A and B are shown apart, each in its own frame.
Chain A
């Protein structure tokens, strides 16, 4: 008898879990839609800045501004920004990033790390002792001003501490079920190749270097902003898929447990009937 009750309890608890995972799936789906909208809305600004920085670099191929020129010191340190999520339950979203980070750190041991997202920090702090900064809880609100703090920090470090380059590892949003790990250099700035270049000779006001610095800063701002948006969309997508799988698994488990429950119930009834029948027969004899 107690066996039947045990199975019943299991079914109830799995059903509760399924309810939670299902709700989380719905929440992730709606957050994903919002994140996708944000990516679309950020596009004109990012495209324009990209176009401008490309044009300026094209016009000034031998500028000596450190944001646009490579550091010649081959032994200089690197700076790595790792973007993960603050929360778990999103499948392999974070573990993939951490694996790539590990590979990167093995290849370039002389690297300082900045962590965005609590989950990454927890794991990466075990891999290396050179985490120099960390940012948590940015993905809830997604505020451009918060991102600017990160950029300011990164730029200060790059310009004053002589890093050779700054790379970012993040999840790119491909579709709700697919995320790509991207490793991208953000400093010094290498504008993406494209034929769209302004051929016009601009007048710079107040002067060329100020304009490059301002444009470069804004470009880095928007690059990191775009990566954060991608990462947050990818996170929600990953969570949605993970929770969808969990819900499906829970349904399967409930089905097989129900089968087990019914079998046990039937067995109990059969035993009872046999007991009654044999009892009646014993009296008749």
Chain B
């Protein structure tokens, strides 16, 4: 038995594949999904999404979205997702540094939130290519 995973963006279907195990960054913590998981609806926080197939492992960095798990079918809807090999490590590191600096000295509320979310994104990217 295996899991059926589908990742959908507003303008394309990113992936549709069979896999054995998935780790999803849920809003309340990472969720490991194997077959026979409880039906679940949850928000996604920015973080690494890992898909395990027989011998291979696919890394994604996911930035927002929504997941539903039902009868071994996993549906992820998200606006931004990147595959591990699309990520530029140097750029992500620079972005992280920039965001951290901006977080240190901000006055306005909006800037703070923007910097925070870009920091989260950068961290998600780095985590997804860490191993």
Contact = CB atoms under 8 A, between A and B. Distances in A.
B39 A201 contact: yes
A205 B28 contact: yes
Interface string A264-284: 000000000000000000000
B42 A205 contact: yes
B23 interface: no
Interface of A is mostly: helix
Interface in B9-39: 9-13, 26-28, 38-39
Nearest to A203: B40
Interface string A200-216: 11111110001100110
Contact of A222 (B10, B12, B28): B10
Contact of A202 (B26, B41, B77): B41
Interface in A2-53: 38, 41-42, 44-45, 48-49, 52
Nearest to B40: A203
Contacts, number: 65
A203 B9 CA distance: 23
Contacts of A210: 27, 43
Interface in A185-222: 198, 200-206, 210-211, 214-215, 218, 221-222
- Output the residue of B27, B28, B39, B68 with the most chain A CB within 10 A: B68
A173 interface: no
Contacts of A42: 10-11
A58 interface: no
A119 B9 CA distance: 31
Interface in A66-108: none
Interface residues of B, number: 22
Contacts of A44: 8, 13
B66 interface: yes
- Output the residue of A202, A204, A221, A222 with the most chain B CB within 10 A: A202
A144 interface: yes
Contact of A206 (B9, B10, B27): B27
A222 B78 CA distance: 12
B35 to A, nearest CB: 15
Interface in A223-242: 225
Contact of A48 (B40, B41, B42, B75): B75
Contacts of A222: 10
Interface string B114-129: 0000000000000000
B91 interface: no
Interface in B22-71: 26-28, 38-43, 66, 68, 70-71
A198 B70 contact: yes
B94 interface: no
Contact of A203 (B11, B12, B41, B79): B41
B121 to A, nearest CB: 14
B71 A45 contact: no
10 contacts: A41-B12, A45-B9, A48-B75, A144-B10, A204-B40, A205-B26, A205-B41, A205-B42, A211-B41, A218-B66
Q: Which 5 A-B pairs have the closest CB atoms?
A: A205-B42, A200-B39, A202-B41, A203-B40, A202-B39
Interface of A: 38, 41-42, 44-45, 48-49, 52, 56, 144, 198, 200-206, 210-211, 214-215, 218, 221-222, 225
